[in-house]
Amino acid sequence: MSIEKYDLVVLGSGPAGFSAAMRAIDFKKSVCIIEANHLGGAGIMNGALTSKAMWELSRDFSIASSVTRGYRASGLNVEYDKVQKTVIQAAKQKQLQMLSQIETYSKASENSGNITLKYGWGKFLDSNTVEIISHDKIEQVKGDNFIIATGSRPRPMPDVEVDNERIIDSDGIMNLKEFPERMIIIGSGIIGCEYATIFSNYNQTEVHLLDRQHKVIPYEDDDVSDFVSKGLEKNGVIIHHTANLRTIRKRSDCLEVVLDYQDGHSKVIEVDVAVVAVGRIPNLDNLGLENVNIKTTERGYLDINEACAIDNFKSCNIFAAGDVSGHAQLYSVGELQGRFIVEALYGNLEFPLDYSNMSTLMFFKPAVAAVGLNEKACKSQNIPYKVATYSNSLINRAIAMRASDGFVKIIVSDDGENRILGMRAAGPQASTLITSIAYQISQKGTLKDIRKNVHPHPSISEGVQECLRVFEGKSIYKPQAFPDFIKLESWHPEVVKENS
Ligand SMILES: Cc1cc2nc3c(=O)[nH]c(=O)nc-3n(C[C@H](O)[C@H](O)[C@H](O)COP(=O)(O)OP(=O)(O)OC[C@H]3O[C@@H](n4cnc5c(N)ncnc54)[C@H](O)[C@@H]3O)c2cc1C
Ligand SMILES: NC(=O)c1ccc[n+]([C@@H]2O[C@H](COP(=O)([O-])OP(=O)(O)OC[C@H]3O[C@@H](n4cnc5c(N)ncnc54)[C@H](O)[C@@H]3O)[C@@H](O)[C@H]2O)c1
């Protein structure tokens, strides 16, 4: 039996693996992508694309059902299976684009690299050989270099068995047959809050959200968490703060959920569906890591260096990218790392891997975007900072949209340099507002560098312009006149005095 040999073998076709494979094409390399399940991974199916398609559809429905905008729609109706079909269409559209590109590069050519896609479970036999186990055969491929981009899956909860019908996780959303009448989402991180937004937008489901702490999205600053909570509650979501799940009892006609609150009292609620959304864990089991002497970290991830190599870059030929790497579990991070590895291997790298300007877009109502440090991060790193907040209530475009819930919050260093450290934006078009500040962060920009930018009118981005002016006391609208809408604060680490 002859064994196929490739320059690069990529395990997993999610954002990390696919972007790496496509960058290797640019260097005229032969690439094998091994995919165990859905092409595109969680970047497409049961993840980023499907959830965003569902969010967009739910938002349209929520706008159409609104009665505060001078119109009232009648006979508005929504069926889960139709929503599901449209969401799957979106995922398929992207997968077909990916397949089209793979097919285009499937033939060996002198002018470009080539790609082979193989479906099956990849497992290392040694540091140059991977076995691929599929339902009808087992084969081996050899490679000079490998990238582990096998992604992550929903974290299971002890004593809660996901049955994929009534107790599901984010992989099971597409299995639902209809809108549940009542649902509890366990976990108030991004996935939990996004699905709480989506199901409450449709207004067909009583949505309960379990938050075991005091704040949803606990890693964000309190003003952001409070804003998200308020938006969810305005949309009808019932948030159970400081509640821990004791048990879910399956009854024939419902799920009986027992919640224990921090203050000692308990509550039993009935729902039809429970969604477990308590984080994700890396897919590193049964990969044959022991055959190549790769160990996982205490948290179960792969420990990569700044070149994404698992060992010393010069001597090691196995790299890792994406959710397995223990960095922020984001589409753009996976893509960045995947491309970076290939450039480090075959090209001339001009810059080190930089995560400082990675943005997160959170699809709530309204959306929230984040880049760089927040106040919590500055405090934990003892970085003195100034923070200015400017409400969308003062922005003409937001007023015109009748959607002025939201704000821009920018953080700069308070060390005389005014370096742009981070930004949070909430409200319409938050995702576009963040990009200019993300760029400044990557360029180590200061307030002085962006002062000259003039923003068009009427645009939501005028909030960014005004927010930046607040730092210098030059905003058109003043904090003195609008103390609830415009704020400027600063923070310095306490100077620890040594006992003499
Ligand atoms: C519900 C949800 C919504 C999300 N929304 C966003 C968002 O809006 N924005 C954002 O930036 N991020 C979002 N994410 C996160 C984003 O999807 C992930 O960070 C990203 O997909 C990770 O990419 P990856 O390539 O590392 O892994 P994955 O996308 O998980 O892909 C890994 C692939 O490897 C395959 N695989 C696993 N083991 C093997 C093996 N042994 N052999 C061969 N193949 C294997 C898997 O089948 C999978 O297809 C979301 C995630 C979820 C779950
Ligand atoms: N728009 C986006 O960028 C986007 C969207 C979805 C997912 N993602 C990525 O996917 C990752 C996973 O999302 P996630 O929401 O599952 O994880 P997460 O880490 O964001 O949130 C998990 C939440 O579950 C809570 N939790 C943990 N254990 C619990 C328990 N036993 N009981 C109750 N609550 C518990 C945590 O306190 C936390 O609030 C995120 O880190 C994010 O990077 C990104």
488 within some domain: yes
358 within some domain: no
Check whether residue 310 and residue 398 sit in a common domain: no
17 lines ligand 1 (CB under 6 A): yes
Q: Among residues 239, 254, 278, which one ends one of the domains?
A: 278
Check whether residue 326 and residue 379 sit in a common domain: no
- Non-local (6+) Cβ contacts of 110 within 8 A are none
Cα gap 223→22, rounded to integer Å: 40
CB under 6 Å to ligand 2: residues? Answer: 157, 186-192, 194, 210, 212, 218, 245, 277-280, 328-330, 360-363
| Ligand 1 centre distance from Cα of residue 44 (Å) | 8
Instruction: Supply the DSSP symbol for 493.
Output: P
Instruction: Supply the DSSP symbol for 286.
Output: T
Nearest ligand by distance to the CA of 9: 1
Q: Which of 174, 330, 335, 358 is the best mutation target for the ligand 1 pocket, counting ligand atoms within 8 Å of the beta carbon and taking the most?
A: 330
Check whether residue 370 and residue 340 sit in a common domain: no
Phi, psi of 290, deg, nearest 5: -65, -25
CA-to-CA dists, residue 408 to 244, 276, 412, 444, 455, angstroms:
33, 31, 13, 20, 15
332 lines ligand 1 (CB under 6 A): yes
Which atom of ligand 2 lies closest to the CA of 219?
39
At residue 452, the pLDDT reads: 79
At residue 129, the pLDDT reads: 97
351 within some domain: no
Check whether residue 148 and residue 120 sit in a common domain: yes
89 within some domain: yes
CATH number, domain of 36, equals 3.50.50.60
Q: Range of 64's domain?
A: 4-153+281-346
Check whether residue 175 and residue 288 sit in a common domain: no
330 lines ligand 1 (CB under 6 A): yes
Question: What value does the CA radius of gyration of the chain take, rounded to a whole number of Å?
Answer: 25
Amino acid at 419: R
Phi, psi of 429, deg, nearest 5: 60, 20
At residue 349, the pLDDT reads: 77
Check whether residue 149 and residue 194 sit in a common domain: no
Query: Across the beta sheet with 359-362, what order do the strands follow?
Result: 359-362, 368-372, 420-426, 407-413, 385-391, 486-491
Considering its fold, how many domains does the chain have in total? 3
Check whether residue 460 and residue 388 sit in a common domain: yes
Check whether residue 495 and residue 370 sit in a common domain: yes
392 within some domain: yes
| Ligand 2 centre distance from Cα of residue 187 (Å) | 7
Q: Among residues 256, 278, 300, which one ends one of the domains?
A: 278
- What count of other Cβ atoms lies within 10 Å of the Cβ of residue 419? 19
At residue 497, the pLDDT reads: 52
Check whether residue 97 and residue 135 sit in a common domain: yes
337 within some domain: yes
360 within some domain: no
- Taking the CA atoms of residue 380, residue 384, residue 386 and residue 389 in that order, the dihedral angle to the nearest 10 degrees is 0
353 within some domain: no
| Ligand 1 centre distance from Cα of residue 192 (Å) | 17
Q: Among residues 312, 346, 380, which one ends one of the domains?
A: 346
| Ligand 1 centre distance from Cα of residue 337 (Å) | 13
Cα gap 182→332, rounded to integer Å: 34
At residue 308, the pLDDT reads: 66
At residue 271, the pLDDT reads: 98
Check whether residue 9 and residue 138 sit in a common domain: yes
Name the residue at shortest CA distance from atom 30 of ligand 2. 278
Check whether residue 40 and residue 118 sit in a common domain: yes
Tell me the per-residue pLDDT of 76-118, one tens digit each, with 9 for 90 and over: 999 999 999 999 999 999 999 999 999 999 987 777 899 999 9
pTM over 0.90: yes
Check whether residue 139 and residue 19 sit in a common domain: yes
User: Both tokens of residue 369?
Assistant: 């975007």
| Ligand 1 centre distance from Cα of residue 401 (Å) | 35
Is the peptide bond preceding residue 479 cis, with omega within 30 degrees of 0? no
CATH number, domain of 380, equals 3.30.390.30
- Non-local (6+) Cβ contacts of 80 within 8 A are 176, 177, 178, 179
**Quick check: ipTM above 0.85?**
yes
At residue 313, the pLDDT reads: 54
At residue 236, the pLDDT reads: 98
Residue ranges for the chain with pLDDT beneath 70 = 1, 306-315, 495-500
At residue 495, the pLDDT reads: 65
